[in-house]
Amino acid sequence: MIHLILFGPPGAGKGTQALALVEHFKFMHLSTGDLLRAEIAAKTELGMEAKRFIDAGELVPDETVIGMIQILLQRICTVPGVIYDGFPRTVEQAKALDQMLTSCKEGITALLSLEVPHDELVKRLLIRGESSGRTDDADIATIENRISVYEAKTQPLIDYYKQLDKYHPIAGVGTIQEIAERLITEVDQL
């Protein structure tokens, strides 16, 4: 089975490209951001707790996010492939994912890292904020905070997966179609 982490800063195009990969390879799409937004829309206790962090551009605590993934473990262990979109976001989450996959005799195949310059990220997020109504895309201060949080807490994952020889950088600029083709070519070579 194939387990791909679609990685990159906020605005790198993880969600968009996950859909392209899911359509092409029929993998399961596991977006922790989407799961959290569904919890918020359903006004669950977990959702209300997560909303405070998300609106501030901060990360939801590891145990909450890891718990959410654990609930899906049975499916993760049985589908032909999974695309992880927005997870793991910390080294703690990466270690928890490794443990969960080991428990079903699986492992991460690769980390596909979408590389996009800072100014392009900000531009994309401001445009998305206008159309999506996402509260965390609404103002520049929250966007800049999310990028800083990414650099401090999430970027270290690159070294984590480099050491495991699983790091695959992909140019994340160009048209959606061009980037999707780069990703599909990379996955075909795995």
Question: What is the binding site for ligand C5P (CB under 6 A)?
Answer: 10, 32-33, 36, 53-54, 58-60, 65, 86-87, 89, 136, 146
Q: Which of residues 128-167 bind Mg ion (CB under 5 A)?
A: none
Strand 110-115 to 81-85 pairing: unpaired
- Identify the DSSP state of 171: E
Q: Which is nearer to ligand C5P, 70 or 185 (CB)?
A: 70
Q: What is 10-53 written as a DSSP string? A: TTSSHHHHHHHHHHHH-PEEEEHHHHHHHHHHTT-HHHHHHHHH
Among 8, 11, 13, 33, binds Mg ion (CB under 5 A): 33
What residue is closest to Mg ion based on CB? Answer: 15
Under 8 Å between Cβ of 139 and 122: no
Residue 89 binds which of ligand C5P, Mg ion, none (CB < 5-8 A, kind-dependent): ligand C5P
Q: Does 15 bind Mg ion (CB under 5 A)?
A: yes
Strand boundaries in 86-150, DSSP class E: 110-115
Q: Which of residues 72-111 bind Mg ion (CB under 5 A)?
A: none
Q: Which is nearer to ligand C5P, 94 or 110 (CB)?
A: 94
Q: Does 61 bind Mg ion (CB under 5 A)?
A: no
d(CA 190, CA 177): 20
- Residues forming contacts to Mg ion in the complex (CB under 5 A) are 15, 33
